[in-house]
Structure 1
Amino acid sequence: MKAIVATRPEPHRVVDDDGNAEPYRPQLSIDDRVALAAAHDVAEEVTAVGIGGDPAKRCVRAALERGADEGLHVAYDPIEEAAGDKYATVLARVAARESPDVVVVGQSSSFAGSEIATFVGEQLDWPAATRVTRLGTPNIDTEVTVDQGELAVQRKLAIGRQEAVVVESPTVLGIDAGYTDPDRAPLSTIVAGQQAEIETVPLEDVAPGESRFSMSVGAATMEDVTPNERWGRGRPPRTGTVEQRIYRMLGRGTDEGTSAGERIDAPPEEAAEQVVDYLRRNELL
């Protein structure tokens, strides 16, 4: 079985024996270390995938030092963290290219967390199981029948409740942080990982049309703005709630619905005073 594991950075801070803390630096997230251990439990060949800049590539190297067989870096210069749906899109494209039996994602990563596994499954049209706490024979009082090409999965439902399900390969797994406590790799594995080659592929080769800007924006939304014919022409509107009247005066809503208002660049107390003063001057309070 072949597995792909997402490797993502998260900030770590090291405190020495004297209590001095070093600046935060990105390292392979703890949840993705857990996911890597889960991938090794079910797959003979594991490919670590990093998406982003140098921190993502260092995470791929860290995964190789923990026993991953191959490393792939989808390279671009990020403006900020990638939006969850965009990250999942690129990961799904990598999976389509590599044809793994399973894609494994750390479920609770602080960066683009639990939605990643679901997004990837939707884009690939593969089954997805989230909050996975065990792979293989469940340790709860239930029986499952597993046929060839299927995988038994135990997953968390709520506190104190779990279920066992069977998913068909290929599949996507979101691994719960409580799956295991990942061990340190032996020295020979670390040395081999330091010497291993990492394949680097530009973002545009994997996901044509995506850019360093679109990766941070995520799904685009459009807002219809209705021109306000009453603005500056007579008294303000008198119907509707206070919020609706404000929106209409700003030209950003109608009687049937409203949209986001304008931002007041001031501290909360000052902004509140400005709003109240405006409403009183226009006899809206």
Structure 2
Amino acid sequence: MQRPEIGKILVPVKRVIDPCVAIRIKGDGTGVETAGVRMSMNPFDEIAVEAAVRVKESGAANEIIAVSCGVSACAETLRTALAMGADRAILIETGIELQPLAVARVLVALCRKELPDLVICGKQAIDSDAGQTGAMLAALLDWPLATRVSHLNVSEGQVLATCETDDGCEVWQLRLPALLTVELGLNTPRYVTLPNLMKAKKKPLDTLRLEALGINVGSRLAQVSISAPPPRRAGVRVADVGELIRCLRDEARVL
């Protein structure tokens, strides 16, 4: 049997408010209400897990490790990744809300311990939309990076990645070890079945306390407040095209 070109793939996943849930701001404006709210895996991270599983299914990788940082409930998100096809999972447990640089530092420590050949991240998380962790991690590791990947192929110890840009697509060839952040168009994540969820409970899920890593996760940013967008104004019904043009010119001032 041919030896897989990639030993390990590391996939960070984040627990976020389910995309189908209406977001509510806390009464004091300090954040988003999460108590009693349905949570799920960040959609971009689902795509990253699916990408890793497909690489392994092609015979190009040996093991997939899912990683998450956060409260103990993040284990549920990791179980979903295991049910999708990851081989084992690691939870870095903490009650602190980590900013992208802190998460990147945690992942650096894990990469130096696990020695993955490839890290696949979601392009961004839908709660903060920062899109910074993957790039910061690549910079700290001094690894080649391809962002917004919409197609990838692993061959001869290299990754061929098609990346979405504002002007079209670029094709990047990266030597391993490397890091990718993936785009929505890369794949459609597989449906997690109940039998696979049951099997996932038997897969290894290790928990580490953040303090045990000895990493500085101090915040450099301060959140002042969070507020909901202003209510959308009611639409205006016009009688004819002439009135529409007048409203656009005189009231909306877009003509």
1:178/1:85 CA distance change after superposition, 3 Å: same
Find runs of 4+ consecutive structure 1 residues off by over 6 angstroms. Answer: none
1:6 aligns with 2:12: yes
Identity over aligned pairs, percent: 25
Partners of 2:132 and 2:71 lie apart in 1 by 22
Residues 50 and 73 of structure 1 are in contact (CA less than 8 Å); yes or no, is this contact kept in structure 2? yes
Equivalent residue, structure 2, for 1:162: 169
* Cα RMSD (Å): 2.4
| Matching residue within 96, 99, 104 for 2:112 | 96
1:115 aligns with 2:135: no
Secondary structure of the residue aligned to 1:40 is helix
Secondary structure of the residue aligned to 1:163 is strand
Shift of 1:13: 6.6
1:13/1:85 CA distance change after superposition, 3 Å: closer
Secondary structure of the residue aligned to 1:36 is helix
Q: Which amino acid aligns with 1:117?
A: G
Q: 5+ unaligned residues in a row in structure 2: which ranges?
A: 1-5, 22-34, 56-60, 225-255
Residues 149 and 161 of structure 2 are in contact (CA less than 8 Å); yes or no, is this contact kept in structure 1? yes
Q: Name whichever of 105-114 and 83-92 sits farther off.
A: 105-114
Partners of 1:28 and 1:122 lie apart in 2 by 25
| Matching residue within 53, 60, 73 for 1:40 | 53
Partners of 1:38 and 1:96 lie apart in 2 by 22
- Deviations, residues 3-47 of structure 1 (Å, cap 9, x unaligned): 0001101102768xxxxxx95222211111011011122233110
Shift of 1:164: 1.0
Q: Which amino acid aligns with 2:134?
A: A
Equivalent residue, structure 2, for 1:134: 151
1:176 aligns with 2:183: yes
Instruction: State how many pairs are aligned.
Output: 198
Residues 8 and 111 of structure 1 are in contact (CA less than 8 Å); yes or no, is this contact kept in structure 2? no
Partners of 2:221 and 2:137 lie apart in 1 by 15
- Deviations, residues 179-225 of structure 1 (Å, cap 9, x unaligned): 1121213444222112323111111222x1436xx2xx2479xxxxx
Structure with higher Rg: it is 1
Shift of 1:163: 1.3
Equivalent residue, structure 1, for 2:142: 125
Q: TM-score, normalised by structure 2?
A: 0.71
Name the structure with the higher strand share: 2
Equivalent residue, structure 1, for 2:99: 83
Secondary structure of the residue aligned to 1:85 is helix
1:53/1:23 CA distance change after superposition, 3 Å: closer
Which has the bigger relative contact order, CA under 8 A and spacing at least 6? Answer: 2
Q: Which amino acid aligns with 1:158?
A: D
Residues 124 and 132 of structure 2 are in contact (CA less than 8 Å); yes or no, is this contact kept in structure 1? no
1:64 aligns with 2:71: no
Q: TM-score, normalised by structure 1?
A: 0.64
